[in-house]
Amino acid sequence: MTPTFFDLDYVLSMCWPNINYKLGDVVLVEHPRYGRIIKRICHIGLHNTYLLSGDHASSTSTKQLGLIKQGNILGRVVFHVKQPRYIK
């Protein structure tokens, strides 16, 4: 999810019962093919399904990710701690 999140950054995600996710929410997902990923909700479909996208132009496409069921969403990202970036 660069440039929003980088490797070694920390995020806190929260999941509430019967949560209603909104467009633009950043979510932590357990994807059947890609494992645990962080993406942004870009479309809300029928029957609690979602299309997700990354913030970087070369991130995994919405088409590659496919429809995500709400059961695969582990939670909404609510806090982000950036790791220090060092210039060499």
Q: Tell me the whole-structure pTM to 2 decimals.
A: 0.88
In the chain, the domains with their CATH numbers are 10-81 (2.10.109.10)
pLDDT in tens, the chain (88 residues): 888 888 889 999 999 888 899 999 999 999 999 999 999 999 999 999 999 999 998 999 999 999 999 999 999 999 999 988 776 6
Query: Which residues make beta-bridge pairs with 76?
Result: 14, 27
Distance CA 68, CA 48 (A): 8
